[in-house]
Structure 1
Amino acid sequence: MSGNAVTAAATARMPDAAAADFIHSLFKPAHILVAISGGSDSTGLLVALAERLKAFPTSNVALSAATIDHGLRAESADEARDVAALCASLGVPHVARRWEGEKPKNGIMAAARGARYELLTDIADKISANVVVTAHTLDDQRETLAMRAARLNEGEGIAGTGIADAMLFDRRVWIVRPFLACRRADIRAYLTERGMSWLDDPSNEDVRYERVRTRKRLAQNAAPPSVLDGGSTRTALSMEATAWLDRYVTVHAGVLCAVSRDALAADEAVLSYALPYLTAVFGGEPYGPGRERMRRILDFMGEGKPGRRTAGGVLFDLRRDGLYLMRENRDIRPLELASGADGIWDGRFRIVNRGPTAIRIEAAGAKGAAEFPESLPKGAVQRARAVLPLVIAGDGENAASVAIVPYLAPFDRFLTRFDLTFADRLSACFGRAPYARPPL
C-alpha cells in the first residue's frame, strides 16, 4: 500500500485513487470485509472498492460488507436494512449484526467500539475474510490528533500519535483504513457525482461527545486538515526500542522484568516509548502511565540511587545492578471461571479452564513457586512470585486442568502497525508467538 494512500501524509488522496492503491497493496488472494454504517465515509469506501473491483474482475479479491447495529437509536434497524439494499444494488454480499445485551452507562463510545470490532471479527471469521476495512478519514485523523494533544497538555497521552493506517484486533484480524488520507468533502463529492446519497447519524451532532465538540471547534479553523508524518517517526522509534529491548531486558516467568543498568543511559525518547509499554504489560493495563507520572519515574531512574517507586500498578525497584519491574501486590481481584470458560486475570494472563469444575484464580502470595535464576535479587523474586496466578478448583484443591498464557494488555487487544516491531519482540520475551502479519 502506498504511504500516501493510507498514512495520511501531506497530500490528500481522492477516494478512487485511495481504493485502487489499497487493492493493489493487498496480498492475493484476498477477501475484504467493509464495515459500513450508511454514512458518507463508509458508503464512499464501499462504492469506491466495488467500482474498482468491477473494473478489474480478475484481481483475485473478493468483497463483502457488514453493518453493526449498536441498538442505541430507534432508527438503527431501518438504517441497517437501507445499507443492505445498497449492497444488493452493488452486488456485494452483506451481513448485519446487532450489539445485544445491556449497554454501559459510562464509556458508551469505547464499549460500542469494542463490540463493533468483536462482531466484525466474528463475521470475518465466518466468511473467511482476511482483512476488515473501516472508513476513517483525514478529518477523523485531524480530530484525533487535536483530542490527543489536549490530553497531552493535561499530562496524559503520547505525543504525535494519530489513527494508525492498520491495526490488529485481538490477535485475530487486521483492521485497515484505506481512506485515512481522504477528506470527507471529497468523499461526499465522489458520491454526489454518482447520484448516491448517505445517512446522517444524529449522534455526530451530539456535543456530549468529545469528538463532536472537537469537530465543531476545528470547523471554525480555516486551515486545511493536516497531520504529522503518518506514523513514520513512531515506527522508527518502535524499532529503536526493539533494539534496546533485545540488548538490555529479560523477562522471567512472565512476572519479573529485569533491565540492566546500562539501559537507563539510553536516549530519553527510547525510554519514554519502551518503559510505559513495559509498565502497561506488567501492570495489566491497556495504557501506560500518563506523561507526568512517567516523568517522575524517569527522574527517579536518572538520579541513579537505589530505591523503589510505583506507577501504573507496577513497582520499579532500582538496584545497583539494574532496574526490576513487577506488579504491585495489591488491588488484584480474583477471577472465577466455569468449566470450559476462559478469561483475562488481572490484565496479565489469559486462563482457560479445561477441567470439569469451576475454578478461582487469585494472587499466589506466599504460595508462588515459579523458578528464577539464583543471580536475581531475592526481594524482587519474592515480590514477583507473590503476583503469579494461583488456580484453585471448586473443591479447594489446586487445579491442573488449565491453560495459562501471558497476556500483553497494550497489544493483544489493539495493536497498531506503528508498534508491531516492538510488540513482536516483547511477545517473544514472554514465550509467545509473533503477531499476525499485516495483509499488505
Structure 2
Amino acid sequence: MARLDARLDAGRGEPVALALSGGGDSLALLHLAADWAKARGRRLLALTVDHNLNPQSANWSGFAGEAARALGADWRGLSWDEAGPGPGLTARARTARHGLIAEAARAAGAKVVLLAHTNDDAAEADWMRARGSTLGRVREWSPSPVWPQGRGLMLLRPLLDERRQALRDYLTARGQGWIEDPANADARFGRSRARAALAGGLATDEVGVTLPTRSLRDPPPHEGAGERASLAWAGVLEIPRDASASTLAAALLCAGGGATPPRGEKLAALKARLAGGEDFVAGLAGARVEADGASVRLMREPGEMRRRPPALLTPEPGVAAVWDGRFEITAREPGWRVEAAAGRLARLSEADRRVLAGLPAAARRGLPVLIRDGGDAPVLAWRGASVRALGVRRLDLALGETTQENDLFHPMHGETAPTDLFS
C-alpha cells in the first residue's frame, strides 16, 4: 500500500503494531498490512483488546488471534478488567484500549500502530463533534492520545480514503468472515447514532450546516520547531508570541507533563495576552508561561507541583520510568529515589548549581534530582541516570513535524542534556 510505504521504513527490524478487533475494518487492514509486511520483510504484531463488555468477547479475541496467525502476523491478546458501572463507559473503554495497545507496542519495540479508521469513521466523528462531542478530528498520522504510555508512539490510519462497505467486499472476495459487534447498532452510544443518521442520509445538522464527508488530514507545518531545543533538556519549551491556539495548547500540555489539554476561555485569554505583546507570568494546565519581550518560555509550574506532587519513583536499574510526565529516567544502579529539586537546590554541589545557572529559576525547581535511600543529599538526576526530556519530542509529534517512522528512532536535539554538561 502506498500509504504504508510513504510512512513506514521497510528496512527496520522492529515490528509494526496493528490494533485488531476482529471487525470488518480491522480485519481488512490486517490482510492489507500482512501482504505489505510479507513483501517488505517487516514483522507485524496484531494487538487485540478484550474489554470484557460482551459475553462473546473472549471468543472474539480468539477469532482475531487465529486470523492474525493465519496471515503470518504475531498476535497478543490484552484485557481490560476495570470496566465497572457508571457514566462515560465508551470514553473510558477507548482510553483503556489506547493505553493497553500503547504499552504492548512499546514493549515490543514498535513505534507505529496501524488503526483501521475509514472515511465513514471520519464522517461519524464529524457528525458527533457538531453535536457537542469532544472527539478530536481523525487524522492519518497522529500521536498516541494516552500519556505517558503512548510516548514516542504514532498512530497511522491508512484507510481513511476507504468506505466501510468496500472493505467488507474485499474480505468477502478473500473468503474472510468478520465479527459484527451488536454495540455498533446500540442507540445508547453516540457512535451508533451517528452511523444510523449518516446511513439514513442525515448529513446535515439541525441548523442546516453540511457536515464534511472526510476529516482533515495532517495539519500544516507549525511554527517554532527550530527554537524549542535550546533548554528543552531541562523541560523548558519556547514558542513564538503569535503561536496558534493549537500550538499553544500542545506546548502547555508538554511543558506541564499532563494529559488533559487546556480549553476554552482560559486558553483564549492567554493567547490574547501573548499576541498583545504583554510581558507577564501566568500558569495554565500545570505549566508556567514566562513572556518577556520576544521570548515566550514554558516550563513546569512549581506551585502546581507542590499542590499535586509527582508520584514517588524508585527506579529499577535499566528500566525506563516516567517522572512527572516530563522526564524518562533510567537509573544505572539501585538505591535511588527521584524527587523534585524544589527546596533542595542549595544542597546541590557547586558543579550542579553551575549547570543550572542558565535556566529560569522556576525551571530549576521542577528538575528531577536523585536521593539515596536513607539519605537527603541530592544530585541532579543526570549524574546517576540516563534522562530524556519528553516535552520536546512530544510537542514535535503533536504538531505534525515528524512525518515518518524512521524519524521516531533518532534522538532529537534537546531530549538529552548537552554532553559538555554531564561528561
* 1:396-437 CA-partner distances (Å, limit 9, x unpaired): 33365333321228828x94683427x99995244479xxxx
- What is the correspondence of 1:50-69 to structure 2 with a 5 Å cutoff? 59-61=39-41, 64=44, 66-69=46-49
Cα deviation for residue 26 of structure 1 reads: 5.4
1:384 match:
363
Does the CA contact (< 8 Å) of 1:317 and 1:323 recur in 2? yes
CA distance in 2, matches of 1:386, 1:53: 49
Moved runs in structure 1, 4+ residues, more than 6 A?
423-426
Does the CA contact (< 8 Å) of 1:133 and 1:175 recur in 2? yes
Does the CA contact (< 8 Å) of 1:120 and 1:132 recur in 2? yes
Cα deviation for residue 38 of structure 1 reads: 1.5
Cα deviation for residue 292 of structure 1 reads: 2.9
- What is the correspondence of 1:421-436 to structure 2 with a 5 Å cutoff? 427-431=412-416
Q: Which amino acid letter does the alignment assign opposite residue 163 of structure 2? A: R
Does the CA contact (< 8 Å) of 1:36 and 1:65 recur in 2? no
Q: 1:142 aligns with which of 112, 117, 123?
A: 123
2:214 match:
227
Note the aligned Cα RMSD (angstroms).
4.1
Residues 1:327 and 2:300 are matched in the alignment: yes
Q: 1:203 aligns with which of 183, 195, 215?
A: 183
Cα distance change, pair 327–188 in 1 and its aligned pair in 2 (3 A): same
Cα distance change, pair 74–96 in 1 and its aligned pair in 2 (3 A): farther
Q: 1:357 aligns with which of 323, 335, 340?
A: 335
2:255 match:
282
Percent identity of equivalent pairs = 23
Residues 1:420 and 2:399 are matched in the alignment: no
Q: Which amino acid letter does the alignment assign opposite residue 76 of structure 2? A: A
* 1:209-252 CA-partner distances (Å, limit 9, x unpaired): 54344434444444497225522xx1x332xx1xx343688426
Q: 2:390 aligns with which of 407, 420, 439?
A: 407
Q: 1:397 aligns with which of 337, 357, 376?
A: 376
Residues 1:302 and 2:285 are matched in the alignment: no
CA distance in 1, matches of 2:5, 2:238: 44
Q: 1:181 aligns with which of 151, 161, 172?
A: 161
CA distance in 2, matches of 1:308, 1:416: 24
Q: Which amino acid letter does the alignment assign opposite residue 190 of structure 1? A: Y
CA distance in 2, matches of 1:33, 1:256: 32
CA distance in 2, matches of 1:398, 1:104: 45
Structure 2's unaligned 5+ residue stretches are: 204-210, 347-352, 419-423
Q: Relative contact order: is structure 1 or structure 2 higher (C-alpha 8 Å, sep ≥ 6)?
A: 1
Structure 1's unaligned 5+ residue stretches are: 7-21, 434-440
Cα distance change, pair 250–186 in 1 and its aligned pair in 2 (3 A): same
Q: Which amino acid letter does the alignment assign opposite residue 38 of structure 1? A: G
Q: Which amino acid letter does the alignment assign opposite residue 402 of structure 2? A: L
Q: 2:57 aligns with which of 76, 100, 107?
A: 76
1:162 match:
138
TM-score by length of 1: 0.70
2:323 match:
345
Cα deviation for residue 35 of structure 1 reads: 3.5
CA distance in 1, matches of 2:78, 2:323: 28
TM-score by length of 2: 0.72
Cα deviation for residue 386 of structure 1 reads: 1.9
- What is the correspondence of 1:94-133 to structure 2 with a 5 Å cutoff? 94-99=74-79, 102=82, 107-122=92-107, 124-125=108-109, 132-133=113-114
CA distance in 2, matches of 1:327, 1:358: 23
2:312 match:
336
Q: Secondary structure at the match of 2:386?
A: strand
Does the CA contact (< 8 Å) of 2:356 and 2:364 recur in 1? no
Q: Which amino acid letter does the alignment assign opposite residue 357 of structure 1? A: G
Does the CA contact (< 8 Å) of 1:286 and 1:410 recur in 2? no
Does the CA contact (< 8 Å) of 2:326 and 2:391 recur in 1? yes
* 1:274-311 CA-partner distances (Å, limit 9, x unpaired): 32222122111245422432210121123333333222
CA distance in 2, matches of 1:25, 1:313: 33
CA distance in 2, matches of 1:278, 1:432: 20
1:11 match:
none
My pick for the range that moved more, 397-406 or 165-174, is: 165-174
Q: Secondary structure at the match of 1:326?
A: strand
Cα distance change, pair 254–391 in 1 and its aligned pair in 2 (3 A): same
